[in-house]
């Protein structure tokens, strides 16, 4: 039984590899109605699979497709598919390595912002498919005694993602998705993006300097006081009250705790 299982697994791997690589031979056992090797039939099937995966990538990364053009995107996607085939039947999970692929893809080396735009697109999709949760309300934070506020910790909303970039990735992402011109965007300007879905719509916001570090510190378990201190060291002009107001408006967190108490959504 174990021998048969191993053989079946080997055949499945061989079949899957041949589906995505036209240079590989026809897998064993692929025959037509008369029992002859079905080379042409398999080639058609392989092409349909590849075309479907290319379309899935275009749906996941529409901004990248618009930025590089449809024909170039399809050729690039074909190479990516051969390098990183799907590991799951859930198609929206595909493309997790696309940003890293773009970083090493020499034909787009003159456009170094593309990987971070791809990261924003993947974060947008992850936020879209994330679990529903009520965002933290201002009343919950306001219920914490002022003396305990600096010790407050927060629970991240499932849809919250932060993408930090050394390029104008947020502006380029937004302009491309909305099919607006890019001429006025300075690509080398660093931008950090906050992706959330506090209710039914995914929102992508450009963060002011220091806000990404502040939110990331809170996300990784720092108290409000610790996160503020860490951020102010690197960004002396950081506007803490505005950042707290922005995180509540954007629905970055779902709950906050001070000591043993947990303050959640107040209805």
Average pLDDT, 10 consecutive residues per value, the chain (267 residues): 46 51 52 51 57 92 97 95 80 89 97 98 96 94 90 96 98 96 95 94 96 97 97 95 95 86 45
Report the 10 Å Cβ neighbour count for 171. 21
* Residue 132 DSSP label: P
How far is the C-alpha of 96 from the C-alpha of 43, rounded, in Å?
27
For the chain, the structural domain boundaries read 1-111, 121-267
- For tokens 């079905």, name the residue: 38
Q: What is the pLDDT of residue 86?
A: 81
Q: What is the pLDDT of residue 42?
A: 53
Q: What is the pLDDT of residue 92?
A: 78
How far is the C-alpha of 83 from the C-alpha of 173, rounded, in Å?
25
Closest CA to 60 of 12, 13, 101: 101
Q: What is the pLDDT of residue 31?
A: 45
- Between the alpha carbon of residue 127 and those of residues 25, 34, 169, 174, 187, the distances in Å are 40, 50, 18, 16, 25
Closest CA to 85 of 149, 24, 156: 24
The structure tokens listed for 63 are 């901004």
The structure tokens listed for 191 are 């931008």
For the chain, the C-alpha Rg in angstroms (whole number) is: 24
Q: How many residues are given for the chain? A: 267
């Amino acid at each position: 039984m174990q021998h048969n299982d191993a053989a079946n697994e080997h055949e499945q791997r061989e079949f899957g590899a041949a589906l995505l690589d036209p240079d590989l031979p026809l897998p064993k056992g692929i025959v037509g109605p008369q029992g002859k090797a079905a080379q042409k039939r398999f080639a058609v099937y392989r092409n349909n699979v590849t075309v479907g995966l290319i379309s899935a990538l275009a749906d996941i990364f529409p901004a990248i497709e618009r930025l590089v053009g449809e024909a170039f995107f399809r050729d690039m996607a074909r190479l990516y598919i051969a390098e990183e085939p799907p590991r799951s039947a859930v198609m929206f999970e595909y493309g997790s390595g696309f940003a890293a692929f773009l970083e090493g893809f020499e034909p787009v080396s003159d456009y170094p912002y593309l990987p971070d735009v791809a990261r924003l697109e993947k974060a947008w999709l992850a936020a879209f498919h994330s679990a529903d949760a009520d965002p933290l309300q201002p009343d919950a934070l306001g219920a914490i005694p002022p003396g305990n506020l600096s010790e407050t910790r927060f629970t991240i909303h499932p849809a919250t993602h932060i993408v930090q970039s050394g390029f104008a990735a947020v502006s380029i992402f937004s302009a491309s998705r909305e099919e607006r011109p890019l001429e006025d965007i300075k690509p080398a300007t660093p931008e950090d993006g906050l992706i959330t879905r506090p209710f039914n719509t995914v929102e992508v916001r450009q963060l002011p300097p220091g806000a990404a570090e502040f939110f990331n510190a809170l996300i990784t378990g720092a108290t409000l006081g610790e996160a503020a201190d860490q951020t102010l060291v690197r960004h002396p002009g950081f506007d803490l009250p505005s950042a707290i107001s922005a995180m509540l408006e954007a629905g970055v967190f779902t709950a906050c705790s001070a000591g043993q108490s947990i303050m959640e959504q107040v209805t």
